Amino acid sequence: MSEERSLNFLEEIVEEDLRTGKYAGRVLTRFPPEPNGYLHIGHAKSICLNFGLALKYGGKTNLRFDDTNPVKEDIEYVDSIKEDVKWLGFEWANELYASDYFDTLYEFAVVLIKKGLAYVDDSSAEEIAAQKGTPTEAGTPNQFRARSVEENLALFADMKAGKYPDGAKVLRAKVDLASHNMHLRDPLMYRIKHANHHRTGDTWCIYPMYDFAHGQSDAIEEITHSICTLEFIPHRDLYNWFIEQLEIFPSKQYEFARLNLNYTVMSKRKLLQLVTEGHVEDWDDPRMPTISGLRRRGYTPASIRDFCDRIGVAKRENMIDVSLLEFCIREDLNKTAWRRMAVLDPIKMVITNYPEDETETMFGENNPEAEGGEGGREIPFSRELWIEREDFMEEPPKKFFRLGVGLSVRLKSAYIVTCNSFVKDAEGNVTEIHCTYLPESKSGHDTSELKVKGTIHWVSVAHAKTAEVRLYDRLFQVEDPSNEDNDFKEYLNPHSLQILPNAYIENDLATAIPGKGYQFIRKGYFTLDKHSTADKLVFNRTVTLKDSWKAPQPPKGGA
């Protein structure tokens, strides 16, 4: 986290609590994902916030799986969540599961029944909704609200014992049917669901609702600052009510604005649809806003943490431009990526005055941004090279500082060449360009005194390896696909993936390191795809080299 910026509102709250000695100087936060999908960049914001806050104030963070809904949850998701949090660079103090508290939660419910603060209701979901009233009209009690403590205890035990089918009964808190806060109008605590749970198996057929699990789990763990997104503001009164009535640890809930990113969707339900309906390869498709997708695309943990730091913590919703995320990965890769040459759309160049069977070895630094260049690699040079088709024009306009007949360029790390002619096939496509080189212009030993404006990349035909290169564009064509009139999938960008099956790359890239970023000079940052093999190299473009996006000014008024 940068030192200059002023405190965000959550840091202010924590500092105040530390100053007044609330919670005896302890800070314990939690990250509470529901294991019903893979984590996305929005979760990264929550992770950075929860773990970041604890780290800053000498506290700890629990990883708690909010696994109270047996139907949609799965162990695959649990594993992926753990992998992603670790990969982002955070260590949790305890790995916990809300389902481990099912016995305690059941006891808590019994306490409330005994206090006359909970009752078993036989009404249907529709009846309950109708009896709740409207924001301007109080709800109406039904006959079940008057059940005795003994009857409620017996019925609740029977619910647990599996005597009733799904939906036959619910347990409700007896709070206030006239409350201005609809969430306090006798909210549900338990529902019957005869479903197998990925951890508790068939032990339970009643499951607690979010509102009767989350705050209680916080209290059981003695969480000091329970941070969630703004849509939970209306739940806060109920969160406090349960804790007060149960007289358990006084955890407190605080809300911040969720991250919204343009040109994508972030609800797990929608991401799951993209996967199951085959619009993307999987949860970790490099176009997905998931942590695993970003990782496969070539994003680094540092770039994602930097992004989360830059967007800050606000109390009002806004939309963040995806180009800020791209800015952050460029910043990081510019400092760390090794430079290599790759020709994505090849055309052959023949250097007519270069000996036919000669090969020279040029030298290229790995990373000119790093001190000492982090070493380098040898680049074979020979008479025939692949160059980028767009670096040649039959009829170049003025100020085209690349190749056309009569024009000269420097070949990166090698010689200056001048184009003399080109060859076309029967259809009129240029198939080959012919150049001559200046022997005295070799990079690092140039005595030619010739100045050329352009430098282009190349690979030697005899030495190049082939690779499949995948270029990505935004997954959606509109900024906010969830907020359009039609189904969000109608706004998918049909050109979000472009596959170049036959790119030529430096032979050195055959031993590219998985997970490492490479700058393909002039073409962007790339990384090996997880499906890449020695026989078939596959690279993903993480991001292009440039964008019109400007770094935002640091906020004013920092300490």
Chain residues that interact with Mg ion, rule: CB under 5 A:
34
Picked from Mg ion, ligand ATP, none, the partner binding residue 46 (CB below 5 to 8 A depending on kind) is ligand ATP
558 burial (CB, 10 Å; 0-12 / 13-18 / 19+) is exposed
Residue 268 partner contact from ligand ATP, Mg ion, none using kind-dependent CB cut-offs of 5 to 8 Å? ligand ATP
Residue 258 binds which entry of ligand ATP, Mg ion, none, with Cβ cut-offs from 5 to 8 Å by kind?
A: ligand ATP
Q: Which does 229 bind (CB under 5 to 8 A by kind): Mg ion, ligand ATP, none?
A: ligand ATP
What 3-state DSSP class applies to 543? strand
Closest CB to ligand ATP among residues 138, 266: 266
CB of 229 to ligand ATP, least distance (A): 4
d(CA 61, CA 48): 11
* Least separation in angstroms between CB 33 and ligand ATP: 4
Main-chain phi, psi angles of 371, to 5 degrees: -65, 130
Query: Cβ-closest residue to ligand ATP?
Result: 42
301-311 and 41-56 helices cross at what angle (nearest 10)?
Answer: 80
How far is it, in rounded angstroms, from Cα 75 to Cα 95? 14
Judged by beta carbon, residue 29 or residue 367, the one nearer ligand ATP is 29
CA end-to-end distance (rounded Å), the chain: 14
Minimal distance in Å, beta carbon 272 to Mg ion?
13
Kindly list the catalytic residues. Answer: 34, 258, 268
**Could you tell me the smallest distance in angstroms from the CB atom of residue 255 to ligand ATP?**
9
What string marks each residue from 244 to 273 as x (binds ligand ATP by CB under 6 A) or -? --------------xx------xxx-----
Nearest CB to ligand ATP, comparing residues 43 and 470: 43
Nearest-5° angle of CA 513, CA 514, CA 518?
65
- Compare residues 173 and 265 and give the one whose CB is closer to ligand ATP: 265
| 212: number of Cβ within 10 Å | 25
Q: Is residue 42 a contact point for ligand ATP (CB under 6 A)?
A: yes
- Name which position in 46, 61, 366, 441 contacts ligand ATP (CB under 6 A): 46
Task: In angstroms, give the least distance from the CB of 12 to ligand ATP.
Answer: 19
Contact 464, 506 (CB under 8 A): yes
Residue 30 near ligand ATP by CB under 6 A: no
Long-range contact pairs involving 22-28 (C-beta distance under 8 Å, separation at least 24): 22/224, 23/224, 26/59, 26/222, 26/224, 27/53, 27/54, 27/57, 27/58, 27/59, 27/60, 27/224, 27/225, 28/54, 28/59, 28/60, 28/61, 28/62, 28/93, 28/221, 28/222, 28/223, 28/224, 28/225
Judged by DSSP in three states, 479 sits in coil
Structure tokens at 485: 């009139």
Q: Which helix (H) or strand (E) holds 75?
A: helix 75-87
**Of 257 and 545, CB closest to ligand ATP:** 257
Strands 188-192 and 206-208: antiparallel
Contacts to ligand ATP from residues 195-254, by CB under 6 A: 228-229
Give the nearest distance from C-beta 34 to ligand ATP in angstroms.
4
When CB distances are held under 5 to 8 angstroms depending on the partner's kind, the choice from Mg ion, ligand ATP, none that residue 457 binds is none
Interatomic CA distance for residues 36 and 41, integer angstroms: 16
Size of the site for ligand ATP (CB under 6 A): 15
**Which segment (41-49, 178-186, 287-295, 522-530) binds ligand ATP by CB under 6 A?**
41-49
Smallest distance from the beta carbon of 61 to Mg ion, in angstroms? 18
Are 151 and 118 in contact, with CB atoms under 8 Å apart? no
Residue nearest to Mg ion (CB): 34
The binder of 43, among Mg ion, ligand ATP, none, by C-beta within 5 to 8 A per type, is ligand ATP
Q: Which residues bind ligand ATP (CB under 6 A)?
A: 32-34, 42-43, 45-46, 66, 228-229, 258-259, 266-268
